[in-house]
Copies of this chain bind each other. A is one copy, B any other.
């Protein structure tokens, strides 16, 4: 079996493995418009292979169901109409079984394709599809966590599925020396278009922490009145805190004076030494100000990434999500993958405990809107010197 075919199987199986602890009911809800139901996620990643690989490259391919092109499109205007992003949780048909049949059908056809000769373009698109599915695997985890967290019964997804971050293995600071650095992806491996255009950037003297911020450190911020003092917050952040009466991170709960956090393994006592997560940009930025420091830029992060541990938490940077010099998009749906989101979002670097194996690299640029908290996102401090 070719490497690509075996990787295809591995990635596809991982999506289904993630759904094993689910009841049929769990597959359906979409409790917030930033998330999607597991059923939709499972179908949408298959739709991606159907639309971008099988339809263009498999001769005489017959779609599993003509309506699915419409039902499981996420945001690709190129590929026609789509259902409203916010009503995915209301579509009970096709059911979960049918979605699995859809996956089987796509897998079978993909197997045929993968057994033959593939052009480079075909291979690249398949690899894009696998990376796309891995991204959705991570979203499935975070969306399920969010959905379960709303249930007053605190359901357990899987007792042994421990996505609590561990402790920092190192402390101290990495020095970044003033000078010109090369940024962006290089080499043969897969990357997204937004990482391309390896280019030079000029950095100034700075330091970046080897350790990520822990729960205990953030607790100090709370106890010092951090959520009540405007001066640590960006103006938008302060509005967010005030309008929502925020007093602590998402998933934290104070029960009879003792801090807990909701996890996919159930409600757990908060471990002060463990790495902090589910922080939005405003909270990350406010914490850094309170410490008299700042968030690193994505360029500082990438330049120093070989000198510290990363991979437990996506790390907010103080860089806006913008194109690299010379950034271009391809024609067609793949061109809608990244470029059209390059406004009003902030870059996160690293990866998280929810990231699929083989999906992390130091040039990876993740991005979310500043108020969003439902990712496994944390804080690494930096300071100019």
Contact = CB atoms under 8 A, between A and B. Distances in A.
Interface of A: 23-29, 31, 39, 67, 70-71, 75, 77-78, 83, 87, 89-96, 147, 150-153, 155, 180, 199-204, 206, 230-231, 233-238, 281-282, 285, 294, 318-320, 322-323, 325-326, 340-344, 346, 370, 384
Given A25-B96, A83-B152, A89-B89, 4 more contacts: A25-B92, A29-B90, A71-B153, A234-B343
A31 B90 contact: yes
Nearest to A206: B325
A202 B204 contact: no
Contact of A31 (B87, B95, B155, B202): B87
Contact of A92 (B23, B90, B325): B23
Given A202-B200, A204-B199, A204-B326, A93 B23 contact: yes
B201 A93 contact: no
25 contacts: A23-B92, A24-B95, A25-B25, A25-B92, A25-B93, A25-B95, A26-B92, A29-B92, A31-B87, A89-B89, A90-B147, A90-B150, A91-B151, A92-B147, A92-B151, A92-B155, A180-B180, A204-B325, A206-B325, A233-B340, A234-B341, A234-B343, A236-B343, A319-B322, A343-B346
Contact of A152 (B67, B89, B200, B230): B67
A91 B26 CA distance: 8
A151 B87 CA distance: 10
Contacts of A237: 343
